[in-house]
Amino acid sequence: MSWGIAFLLAIPGFAGLSLSMFKHQRSVFGGALPAARSKLYRWLGFSLIAASVLWTMFAYGWSLGLVVSCGVATLSSILVILGLTLRPKAVRYLLYLPMPRADDQSI
């Protein structure tokens, strides 16, 4: 359970960080996002990763928590990278974003 929460925070965290970068926005959304949106994703990414670390430290104590969060970060970021490489369009789900409708021109 504690593990699940750590991953559910870290995965969107790394997805958010990656989606704040132009080259990944291109492969996931097909173009650049507005600067404000990029900033939001970056801010969201860092906060979620920090939340994941704090959560593991809360759940396991600080020493074991730090070890656990290293492992969680490793596996989460690998998931995001494999997503960006193999199924870029699906990476938005990792940040809990819905797939846009076909007529949606906003992104």
Closest CB to another protein among residues 3, 96? 3
* Residue of 29, 50, 39, 31 whose CA lies nearest to 100: 29
In DSSP notation, 52-78 reads HHHHHHHHH-HHHHHHHHHHHHHHHHH
Task: Report, in Å, the least distance between residue 24 CB and another protein.
Answer: 6
Residues that bind another protein (CB under 8 A): 3, 14, 17-18, 21, 23-24, 61, 63-64, 67-68, 70-75, 77-78, 80-82, 84-86
Min separation Cβ 67 and another protein, Å? 7
Of residues 54 and 88, the one with the C-beta less far from another protein: 88
Contact predicate 106/30, CB 8 Å: no
- Answer for the pair 25, 33: CB distance below 8 angstroms, yes or no: yes
Beta carbons of 41 and 16 less than 8 angstroms apart: yes
Quote the least distance from Cβ 34 to another protein, whole Å. 20
Identify which of residues 64 and 99 has a Cβ nearer to another protein in the complex: 64
